[in-house]
Amino acid sequence: MIDTQAVKKVKAKYINMNLAGPYPPDWGVREAVREEIRWLQDELATPCEVIFVGNMDAVTMGVAEIKQGRRDVFINDKLLEPGKRTARIMTLCHEIAHISSEQGDATLDFEDTLGDMLGKMAEKAMGR
């Protein structure tokens, strides 16, 4: 399991809100975020459920959990606010790297996975 303490904290304190649910209220924002998630999941070949969490503390932006066949990424819903797109995508990549590597922060496997993702996306952005 990954980031065990953070997952427990999130589950204990907060209400989970899936993108399929009522949040965020603006359809345009919701569809744009869905598109980002689809793109990243395809690009990184790492399927997972992404759940935006309301009222998460100001420090925790995301948490990944692999448990009982589920691969869940919890994202602080503050990252849905205008101007937070880069931070949101960065956090999604970070948490997806946890799912893909099945390792926690500051481990070699996690850092390698994150670096590999960065390299592949930079390569794609360069068009070759």
Give the footprint of Zn ion on this chain (CB under 5 A): 105
Q: How far is the CB of 2 from Zn ion (least distance, A)?
A: 8
Ramachandran category for residue 23: left, alpha or beta (phi over 0 → left; psi -120 to 50 → alpha): beta
For Zn ion, the closer CB: 105 or 123: 105
Q: How far is the CB of 34 from Zn ion (least distance, A)?
A: 23
C-alpha 67/C-alpha 116 separation (Å) is 24
For Zn ion, the closer CB: 57 or 105: 105
Pairing type for strands 16-18 and 49-53 reads antiparallel
For Zn ion, the closer CB: 5 or 68: 5
